[in-house]
Structure formats: C-alpha cells, structure tokens
Structure 1
Amino acid sequence: MQELRHLNKYFKKYRFKLLLGIVITIVARVFSLVMPSYVSKSVDSIKEYLDGNITGSIVKGQLFEYILIIIGAALLSGLFTFLMRQTIINVSRYIEYDLKNEVFDHYQFLNLNFYKRNRIGDLMNRISEDVTQVRMYGGPAIMYGIQTLTLFVCLIPLMFIKAPTIAFYTLIPLPILSILIYQISKIIHKRSTKVQEYLSTLSTFTQESFSGVSVIKAYNLEGTINNDLTDLAIEGKNTSMDLAKVNAWFFPLMILLIGISNLFVIYIGGKQYIDGKIGLGIIAEFILYVNMLTWPVAVVGWLTSIVQRAEASQKRINEFLKEQPTIKNEVLENTLVTGKIEFKNVSFTYEDTNITALKSISFIIEAGETVAFLGKTGAGKSTILDLVARLYDVSEGEILIDDIPIKKLNLNSLRNAIGAVPQDAFLFSDTIENNIRFGKEDATKAEIETVAKSAVVHDNIIDFTNQYNTILGERGITLSGGQKQRVSIARALLKDPNIYLFDDCLSAVDTETEEEILKNLKQASQHKTTLIVSHRVSSAKNADKIIILDHGEIIQEGNHEELNNIEGYYKQLYLDQLTEKE
C-alpha cells in the first residue's frame, strides 16, 4: 500500500468527517449484535414454556419484550448505517474531487515534451478510470473495513465468552481463508495493473479514431479500424477475464468455509446440548453469529480486491504526479512586460527528436516593432515563437525580454503579455462567442464583434443560423480552416497584449482576405511588438524587419526594400510568388 500513502494528506484534510463516520460505523455494528442474544433468549423462553417451567402469560410477555428490543436495535442500526454512508462515502467523493483537480492542475504545469511522450487517451484514463478506482479505497473500503473489524473485535470475544468450544471450531476456517486471500491478492494486483493499462490503450485508440474520422473515411479505412478495434476488444476481454477468474475464487471459497463453520456449530453445539452443557438458544445464537460473519468475511476478499486495484491505479497516477515541469516560474512577483525582445547566441535542440532547430542566432526586436520570419519548412521559425512564450527553455545562449533574462520574469506575467495565434488553430467545443472571449473573459458582445470584424470573420459568423451562439464541434470542426484561423486571430486581438505572435496564421485564407486582415492587424498592433511567421512575402513585406532562416541559422536580415535589392532567398521568393499571383 506504499503508493496509496499519497492519499494520507486527504485523509488528514477530512479527518473529522472520517472520525465521525468511524464512530457511527462502530455504533451501528454494536446495535446489530443485540439481535442474536435476544433470539437466543426467545428460544430459551419457548423451551422453558414447553418444559412447563413457565406459564403462557409469562412467555408472551418475555417474547413481546424481546421482539421490541430486537426491532428497536434493528432500527437504530439501520439509522446509524445510513449516517455512516452519508459521512464516509461523501468523504470518498471529496477525495475523488480533490485528486482529479490535483492531477489536472499538475497536467497544466507540465511542459510540452511531456505531452509529446504520452498519449491523450492515457492521460484521460488516469484522471478518470484510475481516480475512480482510488475513490473506492477512500470510501467503501474504509467503511466496510471498519464494519468488518468492529464485528470481529466485538463478536469473536463474545462467542468465546458464551461457548468457547463452539467458538473455537467455528473460527478454524478463518486463518485458512486469510492465507488464501493473501495468495490471491498478489495475483489480483498484477492483473489489475494490466487491465488499467489496457483501458488507457483503448481510450487512446478511440480518441484518435474519433478525432481522425475524416481521414479514416477519406482513405476508406473503416474496415481496418473496425478490425483493429475488434483485436483490442478481444485483448481487453482476455485481460479482464484473467482478472475475473481470480476474483471468482473469493465468494465460493468464503461460502464454503462459512458453510463448514455452520456444520461445526450444529454438530459440536448439538453434542454439547445433548450433554446438557449449553442451552438450545446458544445454537440458534451461534448460527446467527456465523451468518453475521458471512458478509464481513466475504468483504475481506472484496476489500482486498479494491485495495489492490486502487494500489495499481494510484501507482499509475503517481507516475505522472512525480513528473516535474522543466519550465518553472522562478519569480513570484508580477513583472511588467513592454515588448523588447533580444536573442543572444540562442541554440535549441528538441529533446524528443534531438533535432537542432536553432543554431546560435542573435537579433534584437525593439518594443513596438513588427518583425517577420521567413524560411523553408523546418527552418526554425515557429521555434522562435515558442521560445519567446517560454514554452521551451533554450539549450544554449540567452533570451532577454525588456533587457531582463526571460527566466527572471514572472511566467504568468510574460504569458499574459502575449497574444498567440498558432499555426494549427485550436478551438473548443463551445460557442463561437466563448471561443473568442477566451482571450478576455469579461469582454462585451460589442468588443467581440469588433475584433471579429478586424479578423474579417464577422460576416461569416452572422450567416450561421445561431450566429455567435453557434456551437462548434470538437477542435472547431464546424468551421473551415480559414474561418478557424480568423476566429483565433480575433481571440488574440481581443486580449490586446503587448506582444503578438502570429505563426503562419493566414495560410488558409485567400490573398484578398489576407490583405484586408493584414491591414487591420497593422492598425491593431500599432505600438505592439509583433512577430509574424509566414511562407508568404505578402504577410511579411510591411514588417519593420524581415529575418530569413535556413536550417536554424539567419541567412538574411533587413526590410522589404533592402532584401529585394540584393540577390538571395527573399528576392527569389518574392519574384516567384509575384509571378504565381499574376
């Protein structure tokens, strides 16, 4: 249970509710122990009456009294059982809530390399299915564990006090059961881990299939995907059946051993009754005791299974919680970011691929300047924007923002000062209005429409039936590529940051729309530092400075007129695209 120690902080947080629940559980079990002794007394009263030792009126009075006590104890036991569930089970839900939030918060702090190494389906499964398994340990396992322990602690001494010989024989099967449970539990732990790993694989497969359904249909791969899912389902069935086969041993073994205990009670108790050592009521009482032990003993196996599953799930959760983000906020105080950016001999190599994207590049962008980055695919353009937003830290060299090393800026202040439009526009499954408002939570409808007009997407939106209240599909699939890009631009404009990062965000729009958007962007980004990554000269020609990259190195630098007057990559690109346009 070492992995489950992670939950101790939550048990400490809710200790008062747990302690109250434990007390209520003990009281509920104590009241449940009242019934067997009064059943015994009832049987002995009837025996006394049949033997002629007491009159009918006396036995009726005694039976009426005993029945009232039994009913009262049962009602009180039921009431406290209800209160027990209202405390302990509620605590398990609180722990589930807190643990999910802890995992999700930790996910958000982890760097991009973590998401490149791990699959989305696996991330989802650990925060859903695994946390659910852990919740069972934090609630039902505790509740039934306390019930079982209380019953054993109270009932076993009581049995030895009333009839030690019968009690001894009755409890013989319990040590055997404990050994069997221990052996089976080790197997359950291994197979539970395999089941959870399979569920992660299945979640990943289905998530990727649904996200890529358009590609699957375009390539007519429905049959192949169905076959792959069938293989996965068969694997899942076999894995789950392996676990179920082990779990299936619990209840038959317990019923068998409880049955043996009942036989001991009847046989040994019958002999002692014949010998006059015990009364007939004791036999009835012990049969009730044994049957009261049936569920707790059965629960021991069930609890073992729960704990083993929870241990396996918590281990998987802890694997991610132990991951430390490489991008850390080392400055707690807020810092002002105006927009000057300087790269000093910056080199960067991607950890996952070992590809060197930038090689000792240096440049200065003054606050309020617009700088465009051009170059072939893989030249390192997008990497520059990622480093400015500090999504990665440089491998060598230094980045300065407002003449301050980027690591000495408050990370939240830096990113709050940035409005980024990624190359692959990402929209959420929400209304268009809320997707734009993502850039500014308290934005008014008028502000949203203004930035939508600047991004030249307002006319498209009002053509929809529900206009700005149109619900987008996952990743904005309802919109075209160009519309998604323009909604993302509107989102960045609404934020009104000091630094704009535009990563080839006009690649899916036509040239006329591009010119109109660029004109609006120029007006909106006045006195704002703007970095534009593009493959089109039209997006870069009005920039204050143009930097040409090739294989991570700067090969040209200057404005449109300067670069167009010398032979090189920029002039050739400009002529090629001019010819293409004509």
Structure 2
Amino acid sequence: MKPLWRLNKYLYKYKGLLLLGILFTVISNIFVIIPAQLVRLAIDYVVESFSIFKPLEQGGMGDLARDNFLKYVLVFGVLILVMALLRGFFLFLIRQTIIIMSRRVEYDIKNEIYEKYQSLPLSFYRKNSTGDLMARITEDVSRVRMYLGPAIMYGLNLLILFPLVISYMVMVNPELTLYALLPLPVLSISIYFVNNLINERSEKIQRSLSGLSTFVQEAFSGIRVLKAFVRENDSVRDFADASEDYKEKSIRLTRVNALFFPLIMALVGISTIITVYVGGIQVINGEIGYGVIAEFILYVNMLTWPVTSLGWVTSIVQRAAASQTRINEFLDEKNDIISTENIKTSIDGGIKVKDLTFVYPDSGIKALDDVSFEIKAGQTLGIIGTTGSGKSTIANLLMRMYDPKNGEIRIDGKNIESYNISHLRKNIGYVPQDVFLFSDTIGNNIAFGLDRPDQTIIHQAAKDADVYQNIVDFPKGFETMLGERGITLSGGQKQRVSIARAIAKEPKILILDDCLSAVDTKTENVILEALKKIMKDRTSVIISHRVSSAKLADQIIVLDDGKIIERGNHESLMSQKGVYAELYEKQTQAGESVDNDL
C-alpha cells in the first residue's frame, strides 16, 4: 500500500465527495437491512394470522379477517418497495460522489504526469521508450483510478454492511449466524485466487494486444516500404500469427472467467441450504419462527457480493500499487537542467564556448573533446564534420537540452546556465535534421513558436524559407492539413516548413542542424540566398556535412571525432588544403557529376 499513500493528497482535495460517499453508503445499507426485517415480520404475521383465520372463518368473520390480513400484507409490500427505491436512489448518489471523485483524480494525475513529462530533459526520452511513456499515463493511471473508484466504493460497502448485517444476525440468532456464514470465507478466498488467474491472463492479453497494435502501427507507417518490397502477403501472414496468439490468450481468459459466477452461485447455494436446514430444525423445535429463515437467506445474499468483492478489491489494490509504483518512478525523476539565476534580459546573441567536453550520460559516448570557439553577435558560424563528429551535440548544448560536465558556454558574457530556460529557448530558432511536423495545418505548424499567430509573419517566414509558392499552390493553402509527421509534404518541403517555423519567431540566435540535407543543390542555393537576408544581424550556427552550406559563414570549424581539427573562413581553409578543402572538392565534383547525369 505504500506507493498508494501518494494519492492521499487527492483524497484530501476531494474529501467533500468522499465523505458524502461514505454517508450515502451508510444510508443505503440501512435501507438494505430494513426490508429483510420487514420480510421476517410479514412472514411471521401471515403464519400467525393463518392460525387464527380458520376459527374466525367458522365464526362468520372470515371476509373481515381476510381484508384486514391483506391490508397489512399490502402495507408490508409497499414499505419493502419504498425501501428498495430509497436504496437505489442512494446507490446512485454513491456513484455520483465516489466514482466522480475517482474520475477527477484520474484527470489530475494525467495532467500531473504530462506536465512532468514536459519538464524532463532530453536524456530522459533517450532512455525511455514512447510506448512505456504512453502506458504509464494511460493504462497505469486507469488501474489507479479503479482503486480510487470501485475499490474504495466496494471496500467501504463491505466495511459498513458487514458489521451492520452480522450484528443484526447475531441479535436475532447467533447459532444460525455461524452456520449461515461458514461458506463465505471460502468464497472470498476462492474469488481471490480466481481473480489472480484472471489478472495474470489479462496482463498477457494486454501485452499481446500491445504487440499487435505496435505491429499494425509499423505496418501502416511503413506501408510504402512494404509495397515497394512486395511484402504485403508476409505482413498479412505475420499479422495472422500475432492475432492467433491474441485469440488463444483471450480464450484462456474466457475459460477462467467462466468459473467466476458458477463459483459464487455454488457457495451461495450451499450457504442457503445450510441456513434452511439448520433454521428448519430450530423451527421444528420451536426456537424461531418461519420468518427468521427468510430473513437470514436475505442476509446471506446481501453479504455475497461484498464478500465476493473482497477478493476482487484486493486484486485491484495490488494492481494499483504496482501501477502507482511505475508512475512514481517517473514523477520522482529529477530535472538537472535548471536555471541558476533565472535571468530574462534581452539577448544579443554573442556566443563563447570554452574547453567544452561532453559525454552522453545514457550511452557513455564521448561526443565532444575540449572544443572552444567564439561567435560575435550577428556573425555566422559554420560547423562541418562527418556523421558522429559531434556537430548536433553542439546544437543540443546551445539549446540546453543537456549540460556539459566540463567546460562552459557563455551567451552575451553570461553563463548559459544563468538564463531562464524558456527565455533562452524562445530566443533560439532551431531547425533539426530530423524534421517533425504536427498533424495540423501548415500555417499552425509555422506559427508553432509564436504566442499569437500572425498571418503576416507566417507568410513572410514561408517566403524567406522558399516554401510560400508550394503552400499557396495547395487547394487550401496555409489551411492545408498535414498528415502524420507531415507525410503530405515532400522531404524538401518539410525541411523548408521547419525553417519557416524557426524564423517565424524572429530569434536572436538561429541554429540550422543539417537542415538542407534533404533538398537538392538548386533548392539549397535558393534557400541559402534567402537565408543570407534572414541571418543578417542575427547570430547563426550552420551545422552541415555539406561544405556549400557553410560557405556563408564568417567563421568555419571542422570537427572530427569530437575535436576541432581546422578553423577559419572559406578562403583560408581552402588555402590550407586540408580536410575542408578535400571535402569541398569531392562534393563539388559529385555535384557536377549529378548535374551532368541529369
């Protein structure tokens, strides 16, 4: 239960609903017990009345006696009906308080988890899968809600009804109470074990369903590849195999579920038989009336569901505790990316990197080794290097997605860690290599970094990124809805929309992380010409493996295996005839070769 203690703050928050739920549970259970006593009184009244009816009938008063008897029987019937209606009304109120409380807590927990997700650093997402993140905010929260709703509701009902009913039964007949309740502990233990089997098999079904969903998602996401390699039939066969596994697990669960209600009915039946047998002997001996047997049978049936629910509630609590433990693991995650001084002053864009060394905490890979450079406000830095040389790591560090263990980064002379993180990132326009566009309109994607969408700014950003004409050619223009991850657009269009999104918020620092890799040379030149105007008086960092992208830079550094091996501008690096010049010649020749082939 310890992991569930964390939920007490929510129970306290909604204590009004919880207390009302407890009150309504007590009242509803009183209206359960009273009808059983009315049934006993009614049966005893009928039996006693029948014994004096014959003499009255013989004395000529039969019709009058019958009318009086029926009148009182009708009164008993109406009272029992009223009690049932009142109980139903209060059961409705119980669900309107406790179940609604659980739904509100579910809403709060999901918001708390999602807010926590948003605050965690990039390293957290590198070591945790998206599926696991989704499971904790959906399946695990649903299990916790079952504890806060049905488990508390039925648990309260058991705690209130059981003492009330048992005390009344003992007051009426202690011996018969003992015999009547003998099968109920066996019932509770049996239900507990059956529920464990059900939960175990349900878990397997859930994992199988998760695997099936993942398979289908991948198949639909990669449908182009499937068709290109003519693997449709193999995909159908694999899906059939996965579905067969799911079907077999579902059938096994159904077989266990089939035991549930027969088990309950059998043990309730045994309890009823014992009550009738022992009660019958006591009636014969003149110890009790006929009505007591009927009353006790009703009591046994009243206790059946609460006792049955004991095993079910125990199982829910166990599953909720396991789920809350998983939720707590993420809620207890610490964010090391924090601001030391929370500075929100305006940023000009001067960047100074000194003795920067960085090792990725999750993989242990050393990405940067003693890197130092400086960019004055309004200047452009080009970073050239092959895959794995550490180019993108510099972008991540400038965005404070990670913090370096050694070395420092200064912006406008202040340590980057002293700036308010949101303020810092709002002043940086970032265009990643792996473009991600949301399933929204093109206009909203471009306006993503703006506090308030402005059509003038959106259109100008699209023109600067050389994607305006492509957009207006669509039937709905900027209102065109993009498919999942921007699948409606071509690779080049997606990257240009991503550039437009970065420059729309008019950042002081612009970071282009190999963002022109998916466009052809002609389009690259057009975008670079547009970027010349965009980068004017704005600090820019162009990260690329293409030398042509870095030609615009005032200063260029060449990275290899996390170290700077060359630095200078385009002309000086070409005159050195080193790695940069070699790359330039190779890429220029490759470009000419492609142009000739075309």
Do the structures match in fold with TM over 0.5? yes
Judged with a 3 Å threshold, the aligned counterparts in structure 2 of structure 1 residues 243 and 112 are, in CA distance, closer, same or farther, namely: farther
Are the counterparts in 2 of residues 21 and 87 from structure 1 also a CA contact under 8 Å?
yes
1:330-365 Cα offsets, whole Å, 9 max, x none, are 444545433221111111122333322211111111
Q: What's 2:89 paired with?
A: 79
Distance 2:326 2:259 in 1: 27
2:517 partner SS:
coil
Corresponding residue for residue 430 of structure 1 = 440
Instruction: Note the alpha carbon deviations across 1:476-526, whole angstroms, 9 max, x for none.
Output: 011000000011111111111111111111122233332222222222232
The one-letter code sitting in structure 1 at the alignment partner of 2:557 is I
Provide the C-alpha distance between the structure 1 equivalents of 2:226 and 2:331, rounded to a whole number of angstroms: 35
Q: Distance in 1 between matches of 2:570 and 2:482?
A: 39
**Residue of structure 2 equivalent to 1:578:** 588
C-alpha distance in structure 2 between counterparts of 1:306 and 1:438, whole Å: 42
SS at match of 2:434: coil
Aligned-partner residue type, residue 349 of structure 1: V
Distance 1:223 1:129 in 2: 33
Alignment coverage as a number of residue pairs: 582
CA shift for structure 1 position 46: 1.6
Worse overlay, 272-281 or 513-522: 513-522
What is the correspondence of 1:239-318 to structure 2 with a 5 Å cutoff?
249-318=259-328
Q: Which shifted more, 7-16 or 109-118?
A: 109-118
1:223 CA displacement: 4.2
- Report the Cα offset of residue 163 of structure 1: 1.8
Report what 1:35 is aligned to. Answer: 35
Report if aligned partners of 2:459, 2:468 keep a CA contact under 8 Å in 1: yes
Do 2:191 and 2:312's aligned partners in 1 also have CA atoms closer than 8 Å? no
- Which residue does 2:60 correspond to in 1? none
Kindly indicate whether residue 458 of structure 2 is the aligned counterpart of residue 453 of structure 1. Answer: no
**Closer/same/farther in 2, CA of residues 22 and 153 from structure 1, 3 Å limit:** same
- Secondary structure of 1:563 counterpart: helix
> Is the counterpart of residue 536 in structure 1 residue 546 in structure 2?
yes
- Give the % identical residues: 51
> Is the 2:343–2:418 Cα contact (8 Å) retained in structure 1?
no
Structure 1, unaligned stretches of length 5 or more? none
Matched residue type, 1:39: V
What letter matches 1:466 in structure 2?
Answer: K
Q: Residue 179 and residue 364 in structure 1: after superposition, are their counterparts in 2 closer, same or farther (change >3 A)?
A: same
CA distance in 1, matches of 2:342, 2:195: 47
Distance 2:105 2:332 in 1: 19
CA distance in 2, matches of 1:5, 1:245: 36
Query: In the TM superposition, what is the alpha-carbon distance from 1:2 to its structure 2 partner?
Result: 2.7
Q: Is the 8 A contact 1:121 1:202 kept in 2?
A: no
How do residues 501-512 of structure 1 correspond to structure 2 at under 5 angstroms?
Answer: 501-512=511-522
Specify the SS of the correspondent of 2:357.
strand
Deviation string for 1:119-155 (max 9, x for gaps)? 2222222211222122111111111221222211211
Check conservation: 1:419, 1:493, Cα contact below 8 A: yes
Q: Does the CA-based 8 Å contact 1:500-1:528 persist in structure 2?
A: yes
Deviations 1:28-57 (A, max 9, x none): 121122211112222122212211168223
Matches within 5 A, 1:488-527: 488-527=498-537
C-alpha displacement of 1:248 = 5.3
Return the offset for 1:429: 0.8
Aligned mates of 1:313, 1:198 — CA distance in 2: 18
Going from structure 1 to structure 2, the CA distance change for 1:189 and 1:418 (only over 3 Å counts) comes to: same
**Partners of 1:225 and 1:145 in 2: how far apart?**
47
Kept in 2: contact 1:343–1:400 (CA 8 A)? yes
What's 1:17 paired with?
17
Q: Secondary structure at the match of 1:101?
A: helix
Measure, in 1, the Cα distance between the counterparts of 2:126 and 2:171: 65
Alpha carbons 2:35, 2:83 under 8 Å: kept: yes
For residues 175-228 of structure 1, give each alpha carbon's deviation from its aligned partner in whole angstroms, at most 9, with x where no partner exists.
Answer: 333444555666667666655555555554444443333333333344444454
Quickly say closer, same or farther: Cα 1:483–1:518, change in 2 above 3 A. same
Measured after TM superposition, the shift of residue 16 of structure 1 is 1.4
Q: Is the 8 A contact 2:187 2:308 kept in 1?
A: no
1:56 is the counterpart of 2:66: yes
Q: Distance in 1 between matches of 2:230 and 2:121?
A: 36
Q: Which residue of 1 aligns with 2:61?
A: none
- Could you tell me how far apart the structure 2 residues matched to 1:557 and 1:65 are? 101
2:136 corresponds to 1:126: yes
After superposition, the Cα gap between the structure-2 partners of 1:557 and 1:316, relative to the gap in structure 1 and judged at 3 Å, is same
8 Å Cα contact 2:192/2:315 also seen in 1:
no
CA deviation vs aligned residue, 1:81-108 (integer Å, no higher than 9, x gap): 1111111111111111111112222222
What is residue 486 of structure 2 aligned with on the other side?
476
Which region of structure 1 is more displaced relative to structure 2, 118-127 or 466-475?
118-127
1:568 aligns with 2:578: yes
Residues 358 and 224 of structure 1, relative CA distance in 2, 3 Å threshold: farther
CA contact under 8 A between 1:89 and 1:140: conserved in structure 2? yes
Task: Give the match's secondary structure for 1:52.
Answer: helix
- Contact kept? 1:122, 1:201, Cα under 8 Å: no
Counterpart mapping for 1:86-485 below 5 A:
86-181=96-191, 200-236=210-246, 249-332=259-342, 334-485=344-495
Q: Which amino acid in the other structure matches residue 21 of structure 1?
A: G
Greater shift in the superposed pair: 172-181 or 494-503: 172-181
RMSD: 2.4
Query: Structure 1 length normalisation: TM-score?
Result: 0.93
Q: Which amino acid aligns with 1:98?
A: D
The one-letter amino acid of 1:19's match is: L
Query: Aligned partner of 1:508: which letter?
Result: A
Deviations 1:220-253 (A, max 9, x none): 3444444544554455556666666666554433
- The answer to whether the 8 Å contact 1:381/1:533 transfers is yes
